[in-house]
Amino acid sequence: MNQLSPVPHLTTALQGPLRQLETTMLEKQDHIEAWFREQWAAIPPPFYASVDLRNAGFKVAPVDTNLFPAGFNNLNPDFHALAVQAMQLALERVCPTARKILLVPEKHTRNRFYLENVATLRDFIEQAGYQVRVGAVSSEITDRQVEELPSGRELVLEPIRRDGDKLTLDDGFTPCAVLLNNDLSGGVPAVLKDIEHQIVPPLSLGWDNRLKSDHFQVYGEVAREFADVLDIDPWLVDPLFRNCGEINFKTREGEDCLARNVAALLLDIKAKYDEYGIDAKPYCVVKADAGTYGMGIMTVDSPEAVQSLNRKQRKGMASRKEGGEVSQVIIQEGVPTLEQLNGATAEPVVYMVDRFVIGGFYRVHGAKGAEDNLNAPGASFERLAFAESCNTPHQELAPDAEPNRFYAYGVIARLALIAAAREIQSTKA
């Protein structure tokens, strides 16, 4: 077995509400799992997802849900068999008779860490019993290209061709289904439009179309339903948020609207802090309403902070992945992460395939604080045995012991997965 990191130390004494929440989850595990089964009987889960969580000591909540997750190479290999089994079930749900899968990655083929993620996904699919090829949508790849990866593996990237409404590779390989690991921040590539193959996740869930504010609106509904099951305050698992209309950070259009919403959200957070006796200063995270990779994010603790951005800060907020411009933002309750690994700030990330938790890791950053965005250059990843402990809590151990805290993380991540499933359902309506 690989050496696994311990549960990060909580640097706060404000553990009353969270410890009670974890205790309630253990006591009502049968109710929780029955409720999840009811949800999945009513609606199919997304193909896969990753969820960034923040544990503040007084609440634990998702802060981002990615439906085109990278980072599978950071999962603990001792639990890859569970990922392969989940992959089999997910692919059977997509197409019961499928044999050939085309895996379509992001365009940035020079990022070796990302390509390790693609190779890991390819391995999962192959071990699940499918033929899989990696088809590139990058204009830089016009012929078969072999990439040597730091792990010692090879990854073959091949240009995708069109044959009418079908996709094919140069040797005639035609897939039964297409698995996207491309979040479509730059829009849907022309080669993927109007094809007969089933594509998962659906093209409609790309960041050219999907909004985080929509997701967290649905998540709030899920959190309230879940809170009714446990008889708890939904705020303990749900980050408050607001959003406003169009904004242009370069010209400062929409700045007043943003400042007003920041002020209102700070008051809402302060009211909850007062209710629970939390002696901390509320803050908000303002981030692009679409996109990933930690771009277009800032932390503010007053409306004046929004209005006093310097030119460099406004330029940073105006850009997102693949050169896109930020025109909408979500203003989210700042949930500090008060966990540390070896003195460095840490936050958990949970991975799921179909409805199953298959693993996770801690994102760790030694140069960032409890309120900062950790998805930034300099972050490292510590593998954890999420796959085992997220599903099997130990009733005889303390609520915040290793397997039990991870069970709580798995529960919150699955709440976000249900919200994503409802998003997908709404795009099909």
Q: Rounded CA gap, 21 and 215, in Å? A: 23
3-state secondary structure of 129: coil
Cβ–Cβ under 8 Å, residues 233 and 276: no
Core vs surface per residue 104-126: b (16+ CB within 10 A) or e: bbbbebeeeebbbbbbbbbbbbe
Number of residues that make up the chain = 429
Cβ–Cβ under 8 Å, residues 337 and 373: no
Virtual torsion, Cα 209, 211, 214, 219, nearest 10 deg: 120
pTM for the full predicted model: 0.90
Q: Which residue positions in the chain have pLDDT lower than 70?
A: 1-18, 109, 292-295, 318-324, 385-405, 429
Q: Rounded CA gap, 36 and 33, in Å? A: 5
Contacts of residue 412, Cβ cutoff 8 Å, sequence gap at least 6: 51, 53, 60, 61, 62, 237, 350
**Which residues are paired to 139 by β-bridges?**
none
Q: Rounded CA gap, 65 and 216, in Å? A: 9
Give residue-wise pLDDT tens across range 57-110.
Answer: 889 999 999 999 999 999 988 888 989 999 999 999 988 988 999 999 998 767
pLDDT given for residue 333 in this prediction: 98
3-state secondary structure of 339: strand
pLDDT given for residue 24 in this prediction: 86
Cβ–Cβ under 8 Å, residues 335 and 259: no
Sheet containing 329-333: give its strands across.
Answer: 241-243, 329-333, 284-288, 297-300
Angle between helices 29-42 and 402-428 (to 10 degrees): 20
Count CB neighbours of 289 within 10 A: 22
- Does residue 201 have a cis peptide bond before it, meaning omega lies within 30 degrees of 0? yes
Give residue-wise pLDDT tens across range 153-192.
Answer: 999 999 999 999 999 999 999 999 999 999 998 899 999 9
Q: Rounded CA gap, 247 and 244, in Å? A: 8
Q: Rounded CA gap, 244 and 227, in Å? A: 27
Q: CA nearest 373: which of 127, 109, 37, 54?
A: 54
pLDDT given for residue 312 in this prediction: 72
pLDDT given for residue 107 in this prediction: 86
Cβ–Cβ under 8 Å, residues 201 and 337: no
Q: CA nearest 9: which of 53, 55, 50?
A: 55
